[in-house]
């Protein structure tokens, strides 16, 4: 016969439930504080039309999705599909294609990442570390040039799932952590590098079975995404079609200088999350932080892949750095801790203010030509912008005639490399065949040639370098006008 429960034993479930409620309330308050801080530092989001062309490229893809089009067949990119679908969902929910809407979504992504880091920091280092880790992530996320730190880019939407993967793996949830890594990978391919710390943790807890569960969790969402967008399309545009873009033979003095400049540009404003790193390395064994160092290593490899070193690539370094820093700052003097946080906050505030002036430095003028196209075309008309100006598609609310939103796939002139004279032989394999297939299905009413405007190296890829395209323009189009250096041609056979 069981002995009757004592009052203390009866109280235990209630105490556990109360602690759980208290924990949830604390997490909600912490998230609200982090979200408010994030929104304050990202206020330029509501005043600047566009921070970089990646945003308008994604917006163009989102418009295709929103109107029932096939992502990779009507507006492709060298990326997985998740972020374009997030853009499309945000536009559908808010009823606008204004980029402020997706930047609000990015604010939630940053705040959620900060919350997840805070929860992990509390588990590892205590309550004080939770607030430090969350605040440092919010501060450091804007300590970039506005085009990198304020934009709603791929890395921002990759961070929450990447961070959740570490939390789940640390709690011996191998399968769920694998699923989280897959979600991060569907935002950007480099998310897959987080499998390194995940598999390490899974193996440490459960051996081969744990590692297998993590990999299975990773594989299932990738397979489901492939079924949605097409296995061949996902494989080619996310992996196989990136050969020339990621080619290691592009190592050069230009790339070396780019690496030094961009890495220095990351280190200088992010000293608050970097200065404790040497001590953290010395104490890594005592603190059981091997997984964080593997996470940092995987993020560093992700930054280096492709040898392009754009500023926003460095964003994926922030979560492990903030966690390591928070752990160290809890063991430093009060003065050092407060000085570090104050410096991070001041740096973030300066970069936030700079964000309001981002349009003053924008080289591409697209407003006038976009208004012309919007006025001279119907919503179902297609246009072709030759060059690298997705802003025109977005601002005119007109869909591209081909799946290639920029001509880098066709010319071999990829971002982050010295420009080369355009040549069809430098194109992504099969791209020109797809281009001609697309233009047969959706003949552009207008062709806009950005070559004379010399926008983003367009002068190196004039239409005259591509004989078949030049023949099409000469045969079927006539010159209309030039707006802000952009030549506009209209198809002869359509009067409207």
Angle subtended by helix axes 174-187 and 82-94, to nearest 10: 80
Neighbours of 48 (CB within 10 A): 20
Per-residue pLDDT tens, the chain, 496 aa: give them: 344 444 444 457 767 676 667 677 888 899 999 999 999 999 999 999 899 999 999 999 999 999 888 899 999 998 999 999 999 999 999 999 999 999 999 999 999 999 999 999 999 999 899 999 999 999 999 999 999 999 999 999 999 999 999 999 999 999 999 999 999 999 999 999 999 999 999 999 999 999 999 999 999 999 999 999 999 999 888 887 665 555 545 567 778 888 899 999 999 999 999 999 999 999 888 888 999 999 999 999 999 887 888 999 999 999 999 999 999 999 999 999 999 999 999 999 999 999 998 766 565 789 999 999 999 999 999 999 999 999 999 999 999 999 999 998 998 877 767 776 667 777 888 999 999 999 999 999 999 999 999 888 888 999 999 999 999 999 999 999 999 999 999 999 866 5
How far does Cα 160 stand from its chain's mean position?
12
Which residues lie closer than 8 Å to 52 by C-beta, 6 or more apart? Answer: 147, 148, 151, 153
Residue extents of the structural domains in the chain: 8-358, 367-491
pLDDT of the residue at 473: 96
Sheet holding 486-491, edge to edge: 399-400, 382-386, 446-449, 486-491, 477-483
Tell me which residue of 364, 363, 367, 406 sits closest to 387, measured CA to CA.
Answer: 406
Reported as half-sphere exposure (CB side, CA atoms, 13 A), residue 186 has a value of 24
Tell me which residue of 394, 392, 363, 278 sits closest to 328, measured CA to CA.
Answer: 278
The Cα 387–Cα 366 span in angstroms is 13
Report the SS3 class of residue 47: coil
Which residues lie closer than 8 Å to 335 by C-beta, 6 or more apart? Answer: none
- Beta bridge partner(s), residue 449: 386, 487
Tell me which residue of 11, 29, 1, 53 sits closest to 394, measured CA to CA.
Answer: 53
Hey, what's the torsion of the CAs at 356, 405, 87, 298, to 10 degrees? -80
Q: What is the pTM of this model?
A: 0.91
Determine which helix (DSSP H) or strand (DSSP E) holds 41, and give its type and residue range.
helix 7-41
- Beta bridge partner(s), residue 382: 399
pLDDT of the residue at 434: 95
* 391 in Cβ contact with 50 (< 8 Å): yes
Q: What are phi and psi of 449, to 5 degrees?
A: -105, 110
Tell me which residue of 42, 243, 234 sits closest to 156, measured CA to CA.
Answer: 42
Q: What are phi and psi of 399, to 5 degrees?
A: -85, 150
pLDDT of the residue at 260: 92
> For all residues of the chain together, what is the average pLDDT?
90
* 100 in Cβ contact with 46 (< 8 Å): yes
DSSP annotation of 427: S
- Beta bridge partner(s), residue 357: none
Reported as half-sphere exposure (CB side, CA atoms, 13 A), residue 22 has a value of 6
pLDDT of the residue at 372: 97
Tell me which residue of 451, 448, 453 sits closest to 364, measured CA to CA.
Answer: 453
The Cα 260–Cα 254 span in angstroms is 10
DSSP annotation of 76: B
Paired sense of beta strands 399-400 and 446-449, if any: unpaired
* 34 in Cβ contact with 135 (< 8 Å): yes
Determine which helix (DSSP H) or strand (DSSP E) holds 446, and give its type and residue range.
strand 446-449
pLDDT of the residue at 243: 57
pLDDT digits (tens, 9 = 90+) for 356-396: 987 665 657 899 999 999 999 999 999 999 999 999 999 99
pLDDT of the residue at 252: 73
* 125 in Cβ contact with 327 (< 8 Å): yes
Angle subtended by helix axes 53-66 and 99-125, to nearest 10: 110
- Beta bridge partner(s), residue 482: 487
The Cα 290–Cα 295 span in angstroms is 9
The angle formed by the CA atoms of residues 216, 219 and 221, to the nearest 5 degrees, is: 115
How far does Cα 307 stand from its chain's mean position?
17
Report the SS3 class of residue 17: helix
pLDDT digits (tens, 9 = 90+) for 444-490: 999 999 999 988 888 899 999 999 999 999 999 999 999 999 999 99
């Amino acid at each position: 016969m069981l002995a009757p429960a004592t009052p203390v034993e009866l109280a235990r479930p209630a105490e556990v439930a109360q602690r759980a409620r208290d924990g949830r309330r604390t997490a909600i308050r912490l998230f609200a504080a982090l979200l408010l801080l994030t929104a304050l530092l990202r206020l330029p989001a509501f005043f600047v039309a566009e921070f970089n062309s990646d945003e308008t490229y994604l917006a163009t893809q989102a418009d295709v999705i929103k109107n029932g089009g096939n992502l990779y067949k009507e507006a492709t990119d060298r990326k997985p599909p998740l972020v374009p679908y997030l853009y499309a969902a945000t536009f559908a929910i808010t009823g606008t294609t204004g980029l402020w809407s997706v930047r609000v979504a990015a604010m939630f992504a940053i705040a959620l990442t900060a919350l997840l880091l805070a929860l992990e920091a509390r588990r590892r280092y205590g309550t004080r570390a939770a607030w430090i880790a969350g605040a440092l992530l919010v501060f450091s996320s804007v300590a970039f040039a506005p085009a990198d730190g304020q934009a709603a880019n791929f890395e921002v939407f990759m961070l929450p799932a990447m961070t959740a993967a570490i939390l789940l793996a640390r709690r011996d949830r191998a399968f769920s952590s694998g699923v989280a890594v897959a979600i991060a990978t569907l935002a950007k391919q480099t998310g897959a590098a987080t499998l390194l710390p995940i598999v390490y943790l899974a193996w440490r807890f459960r051996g081969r079975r744990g590692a297998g569960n993590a990999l299975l969790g990773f594989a299932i969402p990738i397979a489901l995404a492939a079924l949605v967008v097409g296995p061949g399309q996902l494989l080619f545009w996310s992996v196989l079609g990136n050969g020339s873009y990621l080619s290691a033979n592009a190592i050069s003095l230009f790339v070396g200088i780019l690496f030094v400049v961009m890495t220095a540009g990351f280190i200088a404003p992010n000293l608050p999350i970097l200065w404790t790193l040497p001590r953290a390395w010395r104490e890594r064994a005592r603190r059981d932080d091997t997984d964080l160092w593997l996470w940092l290593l995987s993020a560093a490899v992700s930054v280096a892949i492709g040898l392009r070193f754009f500023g926003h690539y460095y964003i994926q370094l922030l979560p492990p750095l903030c966690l390591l820093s928070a752990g160290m700052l809890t063991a430093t003097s009060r003065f050092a801790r407060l000085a570090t946080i104050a410096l991070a906050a001041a740096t973030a505030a300066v970069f936030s203010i700079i964000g309001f002036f981002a349009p003053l430095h924008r080289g591409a003028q697209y407003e006038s030509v976009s208004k012309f196209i919007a006025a001279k075309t119907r919503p179902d008309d297609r246009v072709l912008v030759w060059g690298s100006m997705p802003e025109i598609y977005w601002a005119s609310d007109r869909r591209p005639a081909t799946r290639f939103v920029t001509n880098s796939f066709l010319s071999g002139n990829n971002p982050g490399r010295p420009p080369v004279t355009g040549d069809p032989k430098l194109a992504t394999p099969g791209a020109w065949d797809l281009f001609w297939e697309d233009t047969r299905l959706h003949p552009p009413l207008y062709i806009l040639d950005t070559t004379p405007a010399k926008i983003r190296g367009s002068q190196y890829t004039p239409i005259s370098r591509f004989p078949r395209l030049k023949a099409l323009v000469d045969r079927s189009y006539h010159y209309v006008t030039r707006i802000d250096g952009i030549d506009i041609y209209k198809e002869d056979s359509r009067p409207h």
